[in-house]
Amino acid sequence: MIRMRNIIPVLFAVFTAGSSFAQGLLNNGAFIVMNGAASNIYIDGATGHYTAQGSARIDALSVGPTITLEGNWVNNSNNIGFGFDGSEVVFAGANQSIGGSQFTHFYDVTLAGSGTKTMNIQTRVGGFGGVPSGVLSVGSRILNMNGYDLWHFNPLNTAITYTTGYIQSETNVALNPSTVRWFVGANTGSYVIPFGVAATQIPLTTNITAGMSTAFDYFAVSTRATSTSANTPWASGVTHMYDPNLAQDGSDEAVIDRWWEYTFNQAATATVTFSYRGSENTMTAPYNTGNIGAQYWSSAWLPNNSNIGSAAAVGVGVGSVTAAGLSFAAATYTPWVLSSLAAPLPVTFLDFSAACSGNEVLVNWKTASETNNDYFVVERSSDGAHFSAIGNTDSQAPGGNSTGTLSYTFTDAAPLNTTAYYRIRQVDFNGDDGHSGLVPVEPCSGAGSTVDVFGTGSDIEVMINAVFAGDYNVAVYDMRGRIISERTVNAAEGINRTRLNLNYPESAMYMVRVFSAAGEFTAKRVYVSKFD
């Protein structure tokens, strides 16, 4: 049944109630003018759909009229569905959808009835004329973004209201398309997006303290839980989640299984409160009950989360972390996570290797970022458990802070005559410290041809100081004994260098074996920390 009152159809209208649009309204190219606050439209029944096609649109000549439907909203017209702002669309049925071949730009939207409201196309709310002032009322319902983005044009922080309902942004891919874009303009204040999943609200609060400049400025944000405890898939652009304390990927030990992805189209400063479900805390002890803080990715993990807010991790219910004074760069996609304060450290190690060079050991490392870093201590051990300092190297970062790659080298001129283990201890200006992973080095020898190996990102560099010219077979094995890369080097007498590509290796220990035509054999182990 279709119940309408005070409808003024302009131009040509066809309203049909047949098998295809049972109890619905098909607007076949009409301009439906809603003249006054009482000129409401009611479309009843579970199949009470509103379908627009051709040049169909709805014009509200004043603010106040309501379109209530219990079916789906389908916009197949050649426009955004409305010609003027002012009407409220109430989704009063059970499970309903917003779709069609053309997005709709609503003014007021109220989610009522029961069930979930699902977006099957980009959806815009808040109005579009003058200063948009429409409101999205989520109420107690779920708005499933379903892989599409939601644009809100009302710049006021009261433009999204809710009780127990939420907006579901759970598309678990590297670049989440279920993004809320809020055109807040130059306004400041606290903007709450009631995200949620599985009957649980996990609101995200963005309290803008230094705003943008024009009415068209916006921030866009999405959030998603991950299906594994290792936070996979990682957000787009993230190349590692390395924890120097663990000397390995730390995502499954010390990171909450949820991502947030922000973009501000102009630079802004905000205090952000991130929320997560306790079930997403799959961190290992002691991280699962210790303090966690927010960290973001920008070619490396920044900054040290102890500087931007922390709270005790929860394992049940809903937890939250408030990070104050966050600076967002203009038009920069920025993924965020919540992690233990121990991972990653203020220094993000990009590469770390140690290998013989003649009778000495060269220790090389690179950092992708440093925060408040004072100096490094090179430490050595004969058993991998008890270490002694053998030298210091000051940070190259101005004031101890950098976001670019810095390279360091240390020479151990008197190495051990047995297998030695090297690591780097990083020390902050405030005295806090932490360690890199371990790198073992076999005893160096000056007799016969010598071989040195270096981990260089996705490659291993092999340096052969050949006593005799000839062919040398060079092979790289993983610790399971599988050949990862192999080649024959036609070496001249003296120094010869070759690179073997590991084809995106894991950060792990590798064995390099070199056989010469003269019967010489050398085996070297090298640890490759690959993060670029």
Q: What is the pLDDT of residue 14?
A: 38
Q: What is the pLDDT of residue 11?
A: 33
Q: Which residue reads 């942004």 in tokens?
A: 169
Q: What is the pLDDT of residue 3?
A: 36
Q: How many residues does the chain have?
A: 532
Q: What is the pLDDT of residue 9?
A: 38
Helices (H) and strands (E) in the chain, counts: 1, 49
Q: What is the pLDDT of residue 5?
A: 38
Structure token digits, residue 362: 């060269």
Q: Same CATH fold, 450-528 and 348-441? A: yes
Q: What is the pLDDT of residue 19?
A: 31
Q: What is the pLDDT of residue 500?
A: 85
348-441: CATH topology is: Immunoglobulin-like (2.60.40)
HSE toward the beta carbon, residue 306, CA cutoff 13 A: 12
- Beta-bridge mates of residue 224: 259
Residue spans of the domains in the chain: they are: 1-168, 197-344, 348-441, 450-528
Averaged over successive runs of 10 residues, the pLDDT of the chain (532 residues) comes to 37 34 80 89 92 96 93 97 95 97 97 98 94 96 98 97 98 96 97 98 97 93 89 87 70 91 95 97 89 84 66 95 91 92 62 84 85 88 84 90 84 81 84 75 67 78 81 82 84 87 74 72 71 48
Please say whether the beta carbons of 340 and 287 come within 8 A: yes
Structure token digits, residue 123: 């959806």
Q: What is the pLDDT of residue 373?
A: 84
Nearest to 465 by CA among 436, 494, 508: 494
450-528: CATH topology is: Immunoglobulin-like (2.60.40)
What is the spatial distance between Cα 388 and Cα 423, in angstroms, rounded to a whole number?
A: 10
Pairing mode of beta strands 41-43, 2-4: antiparallel
Q: What is the pLDDT of residue 521?
A: 63
